[in-house]
Structures are given as structure tokens and as C-alpha cells.
A and B are shown apart, each in its own frame.
Chain A
Amino acid sequence: MSWGLVGVTVRFGRTPALQSVDLELPAGEVRVVVGGDGAGKTTLLKAAAGALHPESGEVSRPAATRVGYLPASSGVYPDLSVAENLQFAAAAYGVAGEALRARRGMLLARAGLDRVERRLGSELSGGMRQKLGVIRAMLHRPDLLVLDEPTTGVDPMSRRDLWWLIAHAAAEGTAVLIATTYLDEAERASKLLLLDHGRALAAGTAEEVVQAMPGRLWTGDAKPADDAAGRAWRRGRRWRLWSPDGDAAPPQGWQAAAPDLQDAVTALLLGGELRPVEGGAA
């Protein structure tokens, strides 16, 4: 079973938040949406989950009882305990009995939350809250799981736990859609979609997106002093310089570099223009 969005457009007043975006969400696969602030990631996820109706386009998704959604705020009630937060979700989705107890116990234990079941949502750390939010969203074994930046501001150990939960959901056959600002996480997904100002800049596997990067990439030891500084960024101790014109010779002291996903995404965002990737929608 596959879900997704076709030609979806969303406007807030006159401001376009999404412009004719396509995204396929096959069962058992993880799809990641990346982009800067205000790119339209949250809007896309809301439209996919049913929290927002687009102006035009088509959204296909399972029934509401088969969708799991983690909003950007984690969706955890601060005045309910861990157990009560999960109980509310289970009751709302009509999950009960031994199967619920077993699943809840397994997910809480794997996320390291089994010892804090009585702790209030407001007393959890940021990482714990995010993990609880993801468990709450996937407790009822949804067919579509939509997670808005589940790992933002979370420590590496909690990120590891969160990705275990995400991979577990996909392994159960759930179509997973995640928004993230971490490109190393985007590389874990089967395909990714790069958004900028509501437009799809690139889509495909990480390799396809890297290959789709236009122009050439150079690496050097110092930041360029001229107007090329606007096309340069730092990677570790060295600098990258992107040249949209692929035939141009490298500047004095710069060498050719092989771009990775981070370079490609940065260059694409700098380029700011849509360049469809062979292979169609993500």
C-alpha cells in the first residue's frame, strides 16, 4: 500500500507555503523532508497527516485511526504522566488489552522510558519527551507515521533510540515520513525531498540528490574575499566554494572536491531553483 501527495499547494493568506509538491509514501519505507526554516516541512507533514487541508492537489492517506502523528511540539501533555499520555492515545485509537500492554512495555523499555512511567510530561527531558511522543504516535501500529523533527535538540543517545523506533515502525510495514534538519539522518532514509520556500528543489535517494547538484565544487583553506564569498561555506577546518557554472576553472589556491549530501543540499539551496531529479518523485 502506498500513500502520498500529488500536486499539493497550500497558502497562508497570499503566502505560498507549498507549491505543487509531489511525494510518494510507500509502506515499509522511511521518507525524509529536509529544508531550511520556513521551507514548508511542517506544512507538508500536516497536510500528509490530515492536520491541515491543502488548497489544491490530492492527498491519499489511511483512515484517521491508522495515522500516527508527532507534531513539532512532541504533543505530550505536560500535566499527564507517561503512562496516562499513552493511555489517552490508546483509548482514542481504540487499542486495549494484552496486545497494548505488551507493545507499550516493549516500546517503553526500548526507549528507556519504562522506569519513568509515572513521571509527568513536564518533568521529562527534551529527549524523553520526544521519545514518548514517537511511542504515542506509533502505539497503535499505524499504516502511516508522520514525525515532525523528532530528533531536533535531542542528545546522540536519545537520537539512537528514536531511530530504532523509526526503523522498527518501518520494519512493521508502516510508511514513515519525517522532517529533519540533520542531513546525516536524511541519508538513512530510502529517499528524501528537499524543500525551499514551499517548492521541491530536489527529490530522490541521497546519491541522486548529490548527483543533481549543478555546477562544480571547490575546496580551499581560506574564505574567498570577493563576491564569491556568498557561495562559500565552511566544512570542518576547510572552506567549500560552489560555482554554478560547471565549466569555470578553479580559483587560485582552490582544488576540486567531491560533494556529499550536505554540500549538494547547500549548493541547491544557494542556487534556489528547481532541478528535477531523474527517477521522479521521492
Chain B
Amino acid sequence: MWAMIVKEFLQLRRDRRTLAMMIVLPIMLLVIFGYAASFDVSKISAVVVGPEAKSFSQRLKSPFALQGTYPRQGVAAARRDLRDGKADVAVVADATQTLVLINGADLFTARAAETAIARLAMSQQDLAQLKAQLQTLLPPGTAVTFMTPLPPRVDVLYNPHLKTALVMVPGLAGVILVFIGTLIASLGVVRERQAGTLEQLAVMPLSPWDVLIGKIAPYFLVAAVDLALVLGVGMWLFGVPMRGSWGLLILGALLFLFVTLSIGVLISSVSQNQGQAIQLAMLTVLPQILLSGLIFPLASMAAGVRWIAYILPLTYFVEISRGVMLLGQPIGDLWRPFLYLAVLGAVVVTFATLRFHRLLNPSPGHGGGRRAASAREARP
């Protein structure tokens, strides 16, 4: 096994481009994803039309950015402004009723606008202003009490400013490891096959397990360095907290890495060339990104699709990394994803070992006709 591990390390060391890609790409992806993959909407452009446009526009505060006030225009102009992209929100302020038009084509902005409009309808500040105005009209000493209860005070825990990066970065570490681990490991055996060295491995006194571990070991080390880099940079650049145990996170990450790399090597063992390997790797990477709960909540997925998510390792790593880093969950709360990852790892490694056994002990017979064959090997 040691011979195989040393060989793989030497080959990886010599493959400078891949090595550079494995170190630089994760940081690059993290920075790009961390800044780009944001659902935070800090600015909503708005226009106000209608007879009451001027008075309504005075109430529009952040996140709304007023693009114009047009008291002489009506609904048609408001719709046109939305369609032309002049504004995300168009308000038709009438004396009797105010109509707010929102551009639903931009989903995240539309949702943010909806929430901001609801707040605008009756915020704490509005109530306080109303109360103060009423006090000036009433005789001094008269108490003003609203019949409807005040809105509850909202206190957001673990991510008070609802920053997307805080939720995304722990999961992004997993996405990057899936990319690097699965894609690069998937080329390992294919390279042996294409270089014509696989037959030689089959004849050498190496067990399938030796070859499997030998193939995984160097990538495991580099990916572990990647993980440390990604988490370090994520915490430094985006202020992601670490509220739980480092040991627990490392344990989960190593388990996840082992599963991911084993999937990569398994893909490599069934692929005939590098093109096939990359296509198969992408087939496992994309569903993980989309279905792991990193972007879309698992609860909002259709039941059938959710079950696919449950067989993907990234689903469990996202749960572990968010649980440990954001919520500070102990192992008692996270034993399920750990157990699932371990089971998944056992299944994948078993398949990979069987596949390697077949690769290193090939039989051309397809009719099960090996009954009559025998090989006598002298003892060493």
C-alpha cells in the first residue's frame, strides 16, 4: 500500500497544474461564491405615481431607492416603468387606496420588496409617530392606547443580520470539496488505463484495497488542506462564526472527504476515458449542489426529489457544518448526519473495492464459464 501511496504522491507533485488548481481554485470559488451567491437585497429601486405620489414618496426609506415621483401619471406608466426595468417597485398612490406593483421576474428582490412594503404599512416607528401626533391633538395628560396589539419584537438568532454568506460559506466548503475531490479523483484510474499501466498493477502483488487507498491518500491530504483554507478564509473574509467544536467539524469533514473521494475513485474505475469520467463526476456534483439544501431548503422540495437529496453526501455535510459553525450543535444533535455519512461511506467504499477487485482480476468471460478454469500459484 505504501508503494502505491508514494507513487501517487509523486505523480500529484509532478502534476503542477492540477496541484495549483486544487489549492487556488477553492479559494477563488469561495470568494466568488461568497460574494456572488448572496440573497441579500440592499437596494430596491422604486417609482411613485398618482395624486398622492409626493406624500407617499416621503415615507419611502431604505431599502427603497426612489427613482422618481410622477403625480400626474397613473397605473399604465407604473407598469411601463416596471417592464422597462426603470424600477423594481412602482407605487400608485391614490387618495383612497394605494397600489404597489412589484416586478416578480426578479424573485429575491420581489420577496424583499414584499417584506419591506409590509413593514412600511405599519412599523413601530409609524405607530410611535402616530401616537405623538395624536397626543398633540388631545388634551394634555390624555393617554393614547391602541386597541390592536403592537407587533412582536423580532430577535434573529445565530445570524442576526440575515447575512447570506454566513449560511452559505459552511456549505460552500462542502461544494468546493465535492468539485475538487470528485472531479480530480475521478481521473485517477482512468489515467492508469490510458497509460496502459493498469494491467501491470493487476499483476503486481497489490490488493484492491492497496490501490484504492493509494489513489485516495494524496487527494485526501490536499483536500484536507483545501478545507482548512476555505474555512479559514471564509471566517476571515465573511466573518463566519465558529460556535461549536472544531474537533466535531473536522471529524465530519474527514468523513465527508472520504465519501467524496471514494465516489471519485469509483467513477474513475468505471470510466473508459477522461471525458467519460468528467461527465460522470459532473452528474454526481450538480445534483449535490442543487439538492443538498445549500441553496433550496429540503423541506420545500417535492418528496421524490427530497429522497434523492437524502442519498447525497453533501446534504449531510451542509447539516453538520451549519450545525457546528452557526448553531454550535454538539454531537448529540448531529449524530444522524454523521451516521448517514458513515453508512454512505461504507456503501461507496464497498462498491469501489469490489470494482477495483474486478479491475485487477479481470475475466473476459461473460457467460459464467469460469467453472473449469483454475490457476495454481506457487507459494512465495
Interface residues of A (CB under 8 A from B): 1, 8, 10-13, 17, 43, 46, 49-67, 69, 71-80, 84, 87-89, 91-94, 120, 143
Contact = CB atoms under 8 A, between A and B. Distances in A.
Contacts of B195: 73, 77-78
Contacts of A57: 372-374
A63 B7 contact: no
B364 A55 contact: yes
Nearest to A67: B203
Given A55-B364, A56-B370, A71-B197, 13 more contacts: A11-B366, A51-B203, A55-B363, A56-B371, A57-B372, A62-B380, A64-B203, A69-B203, A73-B199, A74-B196, A77-B197, A87-B6, A92-B4
8 contacts: A10-B365, A13-B366, A61-B376, A61-B377, A62-B378, A71-B200, A77-B11, A143-B378
Contacts of B372: 55-57
B13 to A, nearest CB: 9
B255 to A, nearest CB: 29
Contacts of B373: 8, 53-59
B161 interface: no
A75 to B, nearest CB: 4
A93 B375 contact: no
B2 interface: yes
Contact of A65 (B196, B197, B205, B371): B205
Contacts of A17: 364
Contacts of A143: 378
Which of B366, B370, B377 has the largest count of A CB atoms less than 10 A from its CB?
A: B377
A22 to B, nearest CB: 14
Contacts of A93: 204-205
B137 to A, nearest CB: 86
Contacts of B6: 87-88, 91
B204 A64 contact: yes
A147 B22 CA distance: 38
A55 B362 CA distance: 11
A77 to B, nearest CB: 6
Q: Is the contact region of chain B dominated by helix, strand, or loop, or is it mixed?
A: mixed
B375 A75 contact: no
Contact of A53 (B2, B7, B14, B375): B375
Interface string B344-380: 0000000000000000011111110111111111111
B3 interface: yes
9 closest A-B pairs (Cβ-Cβ)?
Answer: A73-B196, A91-B3, A56-B372, A75-B200, A63-B380, A64-B205, A69-B203, A60-B376, A55-B365
Given A69-B203, A91-B6, A93-B204, A61 B380 contact: no
A60 B196 contact: no
A43 B10 CA distance: 32
B206 A79 contact: no
Given A77-B7, A80-B7, A92-B205, A11 B374 contact: no
B342 interface: no
A13 B367 CA distance: 8
A11 B199 CA distance: 18
A11 B10 contact: no
B230 to A, nearest CB: 27
Contacts of B363: 52-53, 55
A177 B246 CA distance: 58
B155 interface: no
Interface string B181-198: 000000000000001110
B20 to A, nearest CB: 15
Contacts of A8: 373
B378 A58 contact: no
B202 interface: yes
A172 B86 CA distance: 88
B271 to A, nearest CB: 18
B84 interface: no
A26 B196 CA distance: 28
Contact of B197 (A12, A46, A73): A73
A11 B374 CA distance: 15
A46 B199 contact: yes
A50 B374 CA distance: 11
B207 to A, nearest CB: 10
B106 interface: no
B365 A51 contact: no
Given A53-B361, A58-B375, A84-B10, A75 B2 contact: no
A5 to B, nearest CB: 10
Which of B2, B14, B197, B376 has the largest count of A CB atoms less than 10 A from its CB?
A: B197
Contacts of B4: 92
Nearest to B369: A55
A95 to B, nearest CB: 10
A94 B3 CA distance: 9
A59 B370 CA distance: 13
Contact of A60 (B361, B375, B380): B375
Contacts of A80: 7, 10-11, 14
Nearest to B8: A88
Contacts of A64: 203-205, 377
Contacts of B362: 51-53
B364 A56 contact: no
A1 B376 CA distance: 13
Contact of B364 (A11, A65, A72, A77): A11
Given A50-B375, A55-B372, A62-B377, A69 B11 contact: no
Nearest to A91: B3
A51 B202 contact: yes
Contact of A59 (B15, B200, B365, B376): B376
A69 B199 contact: yes
A26 B205 CA distance: 22
Given A56-B369, A74-B196, A10 B376 contact: no
B14 A79 contact: yes
Nearest to A85: B7
